Amino acid sequence: MLPVEGGSVARARSRSITWLITGATVVAISIFAFSRNSPSVPTPAISNPPTAAIGPAPSTSALEPVQDLEGPYAVARVVDGDTIHVQTPSGDVTVRLIGIDTPETVAPGRPVGCYGPESSAEVRRLLDGRSVYLEPDSSQDSVDKYGRTLAYVWLTPTDSVNLDLVADGFASEYLYRTPYHHHDAFVAAQASAQAAGLGMWSACG
């Protein structure tokens, strides 16, 4: 009968288990040390999408297109920044532009006003050789004390010469006694021109 080697086998198994535990411990310690010493990978920052900039509110000075206009009439002559002559079927008509005033340039016995020549030149640039439409205003007299027809002057049904002159600083808003139909738009246009220092608002102090 062969001798039983149970004691030797048990001891061998015990040594194997000890080595396995020791090896596992070494591996665990190595992994921990490596993770401590390794540079951490930064977590990418999550940025919020840029918020669209909110621009200035749309201008409220633009006029609604006008349908019932008189004309077109050929511009016969530009007197100054707020007075023109047009040729109608009934003859030559002097038109004083409603809602604006420009510095004097041709008034007898009165000096030329600051920015008057520039205003007159701008009206000539806009109107010389052109035809225009007229818009009367029921809130105003049809003619002034000098016999001039009072009207808004339009190059097209969407392009008001009166308003353009105010908006670009070539004329100031002008109210005579009773508010005219487009008064609010003209006041807003002048405020914008003044804030931007356009035309007469920077040249004339």
Going from N- to C-terminal start, the domains of the chain cover: 7-35, 70-203
Whether the CB-CB separation of 102 and 119 falls below 8 Å is answered with yes
Q: 96 catalytic, yes or no?
A: yes
For the question of residue 173 being annotated catalytic, the response is: no
Q: Report which of residues 23 and 70 the model is more confident about.
A: 70
Three-class secondary structure of residue 91 per DSSP? strand
Over the stretch 98-136, which tens digit does the pLDDT of each residue have? 999 999 998 888 999 999 999 999 999 999 999 999 999
> How high is the mean pLDDT of the chain?
81
The answer, as to whether pTM is greater than 0.85, is no
Structure tokens at 144: 């002034």
CATH class label, 70-203:
mainly beta
Residue located via tokens 């000890």? 18
Give the 3-state secondary structure of residue 79.
coil
104 is catalytic: yes
Do 165 and 100 contact (CB within 8 A), yes or no? yes
List 96, 122, 135, 173, catalytic entry = 96
Catalytic residue among 15, 64, 77, 104: 104
Residues in CB range of 122: below 8 A, 6 or more apart = 81, 165, 168, 170
